[in-house]
Amino acid sequence: MSNGSNGSNGSSPLTGLAPPVPGSGAAPLPTPGSDAAYRQTNGRSTTQRSFGKPEAQEPGFRPVYQGQAWPTQQPAYRPTYTPPPPSDWHHQQAHAYTPAPPPKANRILIIAGVVALVIGVIAGAGAAATVVAVNRSTGDPITAQPTVPVGNGTDPKIKTGSVSAVAATLLPSVVQLKVEGADNSDATGSGFAIDNAGHILTNNHVVAGAAKGGSIQVLTQSGKTSTARLVGRSPAYDLAIVQVIGLDAPSVQFGQSDQAVVGQDVVAIGSPLGLAGTVTSGIISAKNRPVTTGETADETSYISALQTDAAINPGNSGGPLVDMNARVIGVNSAIATVRGSEEGQSGNIGLGFAIPIDQARRTAQQLIANGQASYPVIGASVDMQFEGGARVSAVNAGSPAARAGMKVGDVITSINSVAVDSAETLIVAIRTHQPGESVQLVYERSGKARQATVTLAQQIG
């Protein structure tokens, strides 16, 4: 799914707040119908979609966003780098803000439903057949899950269940990440400490720019900035681990995302729009929501996400979604935006998505132990354009799908008794399992229903 929202967006753009120009009001009113009163002398728009650098209104104060109120007191910490949103206000929350090249075409994935949503981006979404379930198997034996201890921080012991108590407990564990890529790309995001060795869990799309060089700076709640090293990343699950030796942040305690219930209260913590230490609250509004994000075929993530209406925005990526006992149950990763929304209007609309911590725990353990993570595959490709199931477009020789007797043209309609209505639904469902597990597939061939038991292989990514 995409980091987007559903609904219409017909309201007029808000006008950026700015102090009156000295001497304003002295001139006579313009002739009715003239727009002179609404024009700036420098020719720049004052609407909320104008992300240019504003005029200095007060010595030492630089608004982070158009219309930001003037502070009566300078904060103890102000980010030195606040990247301006790009022209398309990227739907992922920590997009590498680069002025060039322009956005690629065909990056919008249309999700079928009453209201179309955009929840991520996929390059080449218009391809007739896309390898999504797997394009190869490692051929190696299924490796055992590492037992690296993560998410075993001190028991929060929250008694009041209030947002303020949760915030006070978790804020010291949440950090802001500033990434500079070797290709001169920049990104900001969030993360949180998961052990006492300085390991920080975040999103892959936050740190991907530094995978081939560059730097990752980590800012703690106490205001200390350190350089982190990239331990490993998993584009398949949009997760990554960075490490700061001597990190000045206590480890969080993980909860259990599979026990989360729709309607329960949650809190999101992160650095939206570069505003470190921001806390918002809401509820779990849905579970097991298929979400697809990514810009290239190699970086596409398929997530069975927790959906929340807690306000999350660009920069919240990688931050924790926590229950009212201050235990982390998800990693904030995506927001929904209205398809076709106007420039600059793709912020939070009450539809955010988090990677369940049960999956994130397994991936984090693998990344710390091996520097890479595996995900389950069936050894087949499916047609991304087909609706009404997942139609097999290719079967790899010797793969689990081949051993189960599946052929090109078969249409998979369910997995473990859960209906499959699209290729994305199938892939997300497969990714909720682990390599070595068996799943029951129901598929149609020549109009007849068939069943197959498939033991999942593994692939690194």
Name the nearest CA neighbour of 18 among 80, 82, 81, 61. 61
The string over 299-318, giving b where at least 16 C-beta atoms fall within 10 Å of a residue's C-beta and e elsewhere, is bbbbbbbbbbbbbbbbbbbb
Active site residue 205: yes
Name the nearest CA neighbour of 273 among 78, 116, 24, 30. 78
Calpha distance 179→196 (Å, rounded): 23
Catalytic residue among 95, 199, 205, 374: 205
Catalytic residue among 2, 317, 346, 399: 317
Calpha distance 363→373 (Å, rounded): 6
Name the nearest CA neighbour of 340 among 4, 98, 94, 1. 4
Rounded to a whole number of angstroms, the distance between the first and last alpha carbons of the chain is 19
Calpha distance 374→237 (Å, rounded): 10
Active site residue 317: yes
Name the nearest CA neighbour of 120 among 315, 270, 318, 337. 337
Phi, psi angle pair for 299, to nearest 5°: -115, 15
Count H helices and E strands in the chain, helices first: 5, 22
Please tell me whether the peptide bond between 101 and the residue prior to it is cis, using omega within 30 degrees of 0: yes
* 303 contacts 317 by C-beta, under 8 angstroms: no
Q: Determine if residue 28 is left, alpha or beta; phi over 0 gives left, psi from -120 to 50 gives alpha, anything else beta.
A: beta
Calpha distance 17→390 (Å, rounded): 50
Calpha distance 268→308 (Å, rounded): 9
What is the CA angle 357-363-367, rounded to 5?
Answer: 135
Q: Which amino acid is at 264?
A: Q
Catalytic residue among 5, 173, 238, 333: 238
Which residues are known catalytic residues? Answer: 205, 238, 317
